[in-house]
Amino acid sequence: MEYHQIVVLHRIAVTLFLLHYVVKGYFLLADKKETLAGYTAKTKIAEMILSVLFLATGIYLAFEGPALSGLQITKFVLVFASIPLAIIGFKRGKKPLAIIAILFLIAAYGLAEMNKAKNRKLTLETDSSISADPKIIYNENCVRCHGDHGDAMIGGAKNLKLTQLTDEQMKDIIKNGRPGTQMVGYKALTDDQLNGLVSYIKTLKQ
């Protein structure tokens, strides 16, 4: 399975897992203990599968994806803190703990969305503060996936040392990104900045 497919699987697992616990939280808060017990029994296997997918894909992306940002680290802390709270809260009927666990999961989901929006900032607006130095542009935006020498291949990134793309193809990918991958488009780059960045990338092949 390719990296971008695992990203999609992770997002699906997270969404379903969160919805599952929101439903359980509703039954608990509404004092529908018998309904909660029945729902828990019927979804026990599904919950186990979602939990494994949620954690396994998340850990994989943490190790194989780009370097973790502060938002992502906070997200992982919230997720792992929610697990024991949810177990105790729902198993023993402790409403405050269950609520906190659900809020932690919702907050973690929100932080993940904030991190995605932050990573795509340059696709949405013109940033006049972007350096004209192609090496600085590369180090600030590309190195976390492609590495210092272009061959890190983190998170499914292509090996820039081996690329056979033409200058125009590289500029198109840099400008518009690659749908379904971690490669976002940097639309704020000017033509001069794009040309400089492509020229710098070509030096990595030497």
Q: What is the pLDDT along the chain (206 residues), one digit of tens a residue?
A: 766 678 789 889 999 999 999 999 999 999 998 999 999 999 999 999 999 999 999 888 888 766 677 778 898 899 999 999 999 999 899 999 999 999 999 999 888 777 666 655 544 344 555 678 899 888 888 887 888 888 888 777 889 999 999 999 999 999 998 887 778 888 888 899 999 999 999 999 87
Domain match, 9 and 110 both: yes
Give the residue among 63, 80, 61 at the shortest CA–CA distance from 11. 61
Count of C-beta atoms within a 10 Å radius of residue 17: 21
Domain match, 105 and 185 both: no
Query: 148 is in which domain, residue-wise?
Result: 122-203
Q: What is the CATH number of the domain that holds 128?
A: 1.10.760.10
Domain match, 77 and 152 both: no
First-last CA distance in the chain:
32
Q: How far apart are CA 53 and CA 146, in angstroms?
A: 27
Domain match, 184 and 113 both: no
Domain match, 96 and 189 both: no
Domain match, 95 and 15 both: yes
Domain match, 153 and 53 both: no
Domain match, 95 and 178 both: no
Domain match, 141 and 47 both: no
Domain match, 111 and 143 both: no
Per-residue pLDDT tens over the stretch 114-155:
766 665 554 434 455 567 889 988 888 888 788 888 888 877
Give the number of domains in the chain. 2
